[in-house]
Amino acid sequence: MASSQDTEITLGTGKLLVLFFGLVGICALFFALGYSLGRKSEPVIAAASAAVAPQTTPGTGKASSGPTTAPPMTFYKSVEQKDANPELTPAVDGKTDTTTGPANTTPAQNPPSTASDPTTTLPTAGYFVQVAAVSKQEDADSLVDALKKKQYPAFVADQIPTDKLFRVQLGPFSDIKDAEAMRARLIADGYSPILKK
């Protein structure tokens, strides 16, 4: 059996420079190809987005003139608008209630039900599921509205004097198992709640 001999390959400075610039040239070629293909596909993307924009604008209503006039959306406003048309259903019900005589009894019945909401009498004992703690009252209110549309018993808890956060909570739950079940339901809906006592 023949013994294998190790051979050493030595590259000079000139060969290393040629190898380096050759690799740089290959990378530049692939970059140029990707750039040119990206530039050619840009008009197709712009045409597709322009075709989608006129379809969505008439569906939103006569008052909206485009996405530039819409107010900036916060996270909680976008969560609230996950439904197909959350604002349209109550507005249609309200308009039909005010135009017809017998239906006017339903708006009179709605304020007593909102007066008995947990927002007016805040619970103080038991287990709570906290969905968020935000610094703006409007974000907390919009999150509570979005949660109530999904049939959650949500409310904004009293502020603690040491901080300026508005806590959106659900509850109270007398049993920890009920609180854990509500927390699991919220997680399934895409929230990140925590359990508090």
Contacts of 128 (CB under 8 A, 6+ apart): 157, 169, 170, 171, 172, 173, 179, 195, 196, 197
Phi, psi of 103 (to 5 degrees): -80, -10
Tokens (6 digits) for 40: 């050619």
Could you tell me how many residues make up the chain?
Answer: 197
pTM of the model: 0.39
- Between CA 180 and CA 69 the distance in angstroms is 42
pLDDT recorded at residue 6: 84
pLDDT recorded at residue 124: 60
The strand pairing partners of 134, in sequence order, are 166
- Between CA 175 and CA 188 the distance in angstroms is 20
Contacts of 175 (CB under 8 A, 6+ apart): 127
Residues 132, 143 contacting (CB under 8 angstroms): yes
- Between CA 171 and CA 127 the distance in angstroms is 7
DSSP letter (8 states) at residue 47: H
- Ranges of H-type helices in 61-128: 75-80, 88-99, 105-115
Q: Is 154 left (phi over 0), alpha (psi -120 to 50) or beta?
A: beta
pLDDT recorded at residue 4: 75
Residues 166, 139 contacting (CB under 8 angstroms): yes
Buried b (16+ CB within 10 A) or exposed e, 102-140: eeeeeeeeeeeeeeeebeeeeeeeebbbbbbebeeeebb
pLDDT in tens, the chain (197 residues): 566 788 888 889 999 999 999 999 999 999 999 988 888 776 666 666 555 555 444 444 444 444 555 555 566 665 555 555 544 444 444 444 444 444 444 444 444 444 444 444 555 678 899 999 998 999 999 999 999 999 898 999 888 888 889 999 998 888 899 999 999 999 998 898 998 88
